[in-house]
Structure 1
């Protein structure tokens, strides 16, 4: 006599089973919150700097600087902006070519103008660069290389600014001349020591995968910036762009009523440009105004005048980027660059500016997960990038 068998409950359909959270999603949520917190913190710091300046110095200098801006000043800013934008776009195209991604100069100029306008109009000051990086990468069929091309292009500009700034601040009279000369030798020794330690420990301690990634990054940096085809153009364009920014600062000083010589204004302009690189601003406003007001006050030129110069510089910089607003309106959000016939067909999408800050992290993760075979296949294909727009589907950060 056999024991009766108990009926078993049918297995729940797969769609009714509780979904197990993905490990990468659980890990990525705190990182996304930290990135959002840093972005909001930068905006708050920039707003606080502006509030303190207006509280201490009043609104007189700000309003007086705005009243002094006239048509000739705006036209001059547009001319300077045209020169700096064209050379910046040329530098970007050279770096992209070094990474084996085609980028026509006309398309690069249009995208660069749009990025400048978005940087000036949106908080953070980098969303325009994120937009052009993701758009170019997706249009070229290699998101990782598109992002790295923009990162290397921006790094080249920052290196040029840091080198010229160090030379100016160490040789020309400025409020930080004595402090810069005191800090420069130990800072240089510390940098050399840190580099020696890294080189000594890297062969023994660095994991194989990390070492390969580091070699790949250094190889792309050499190809994009330091090769014989790229280095002369990158250096020349960086010098011209930096000279354009300094010229715009001198123009802003003249419009604001400052009669200081160009030699006296140059180190102050370098300090202002270095402050603009801090990620603690609201569309570029905040640290620039604070540092410029302090530098002018320390140089005996008046903190009020410094605040007025910074405000005029910000307005003229926004005016110089206004062609980017035209590009933003004329070029459809779904527009993409046509691929070469040898490139596999794939829907190309564009990034909305409001979603750019989240997409840059997704782009970095996507590039890190790209297999060597896939990168080699994309690198060996013919140039997949041209300036012919066509319709596409709007892109969300999840689709990156």
Structure 2
């Protein structure tokens, strides 16, 4: 293991300790002890359904890339990967590598196996950014701090950024990538493009974006339920706008399971909407626990033998 991999857990613990200290440990403990059980259960259910939807989304993508994967294989592999995400330094990287290796070991070509994970991950990120941008102008009315940008600019970005994000991938499908000087394919990206420019690409893209919308809606719902359990009653679009930076920070490969970076982001982002630090950090911690419980389930599933994968054609 490299020095960086060893330092990440330490850095994550230090960052989390600093955030908890700034939020006041006693206030944070009081907030968490008063959490509403029903909202916690609703949040856990939403988080679980989000990952089930993610696994099935990935299964649909692998089928389009040429593999017939059983729903059970996809679910087992996905939740096993979650356990590695929670244990290994590097946020989602360890679990994504596990998913790619599981497909490769089962017989899918290495490039297709890697692409299934890459495109699945990117589609979720793209949709998260898109819905966050859409929600931003509506959430701006709930800010308790002065905007440094004109409201009209926020509205314009909220209307154009999602459109650009959703249209940009279509260029990868529709237009060949070539060197403008020599007319030759542009390296690895052109190889990826040659794989995704296959029959049913547009239909698969629409399916992937639709599934990603469901996944992100459930994830945001889980975060909102966690916040509601702690007494936060924010508008839904505020949660959507806030979730984008919180989830992005949690996904950075600089921590273990998103701990520390997620809580720091929640404290900073939700403070702009007047949320006290203890409640903001508490909501992020609750969301982290939702993931940790599912990672524990994935750890138990690691003891099971993987289901076989058969390739179509």
Task: Please report the TM-score for the alignment, with normalisation by the length of structure 2.
Answer: 0.79
Determine if the alignment matches structure 1 residue 220 to structure 2 residue 189. Answer: no
Partner of 1:14: none
User: Cα–Cα, structure 1 residues 146 and 228, in superposed 2: closer, same or farther, change >3 Å?
Assistant: same
Shift >6 Å, 4+ stretches:
none
**Alignment equivalent of 1:318, drawn from 269, 281, 292:** 292
**Alignment equivalent of 2:270, drawn from 252, 273, 296:** 296
Partner of 2:312: 383
Kept in 2: contact 1:96–1:102 (CA 8 A): yes
Task: Please report the TM-score for the alignment, with normalisation by the length of structure 1.
Answer: 0.63
Partner of 1:64: 30
Determine if the alignment matches structure 1 residue 279 to structure 2 residue 279. Answer: no
* Superposed displacement of residue 81, structure 1: 3.2
Q: Output aligned runs, 1:199-214, within 5 Å.
A: 202-204=179-181, 208=184, 211=186, 213-214=188-189
User: Cα–Cα, structure 1 residues 211 and 264, in superposed 2: closer, same or farther, change >3 Å?
Assistant: closer
Q: What do you get for the CA RMSD once the two structures are aligned?
A: 3.4
Where do 5+ consecutive residues of structure 1 fail to align?
Answer: 1-32, 193-198, 340-381, 385-400
Q: Following the alignment from structure 1 to structure 2, what is the Cα–Cα distance between the partners of residues 261 and 95?
A: 33
Kept in 2: contact 1:102–1:140 (CA 8 A): no
* Superposed displacement of residue 204, structure 1: 1.2
Kept in 1: contact 2:131–2:241 (CA 8 A): no
Kept in 1: contact 2:43–2:223 (CA 8 A): no
**Aligned to 1:140, what secondary structure does the other structure show?**
coil
Partner of 2:173: none
| Number of aligned positions between the proteins | 293
Q: Following the alignment from structure 2 to structure 1, what is the Cα–Cα distance between the partners of residues 32 and 295?
A: 18
Partner of 1:337: 308
* Superposed displacement of residue 95, structure 1: 1.6
CA distances 1:207-250 after superposition (whole Å, capped 9, x unpaired):
x5x635432211323449x7144123212210110000110011
Q: Following the alignment from structure 2 to structure 1, what is the Cα–Cα distance between the partners of residues 235 and 135?
A: 15
Kept in 1: contact 2:83–2:295 (CA 8 A): yes
* Superposed displacement of residue 143, structure 1: 2.6
**144-153 or 247-256, larger mean C-alpha shift:** 144-153
Kept in 2: contact 1:133–1:149 (CA 8 A): yes
**Alignment equivalent of 1:147, drawn from 110, 114, 128:** 114
Q: Following the alignment from structure 1 to structure 2, what is the Cα–Cα distance between the partners of residues 212 and 223?
A: 19
Partner of 1:121: 87
Larger Rg: 1
CA distances 1:310-335 after superposition (whole Å, capped 9, x unpaired):
11111122224443233223x14xx4
* Superposed displacement of residue 60, structure 1: 2.2
Determine if the alignment matches structure 1 residue 111 to structure 2 residue 88. Answer: no
User: Cα–Cα, structure 1 residues 200 and 113, in superposed 2: closer, same or farther, change >3 Å?
Assistant: closer
**Aligned to 1:204, what secondary structure does the other structure show?**
coil
Q: Following the alignment from structure 2 to structure 1, what is the Cα–Cα distance between the partners of residues 222 and 274?
A: 22
Q: Output aligned runs, 1:1-400, within 5 Å.
A: 36=2, 38-40=4-6, 42-68=8-34, 72-73=38-39, 75-126=41-92, 127-173=94-140, 174=143, 178-179=148-149, 181=153, 202-204=179-181, 208=184, 211=186, 213-223=188-198, 227-329=201-303, 331-332=304-305, 335=306, 337=308, 382-383=311-312
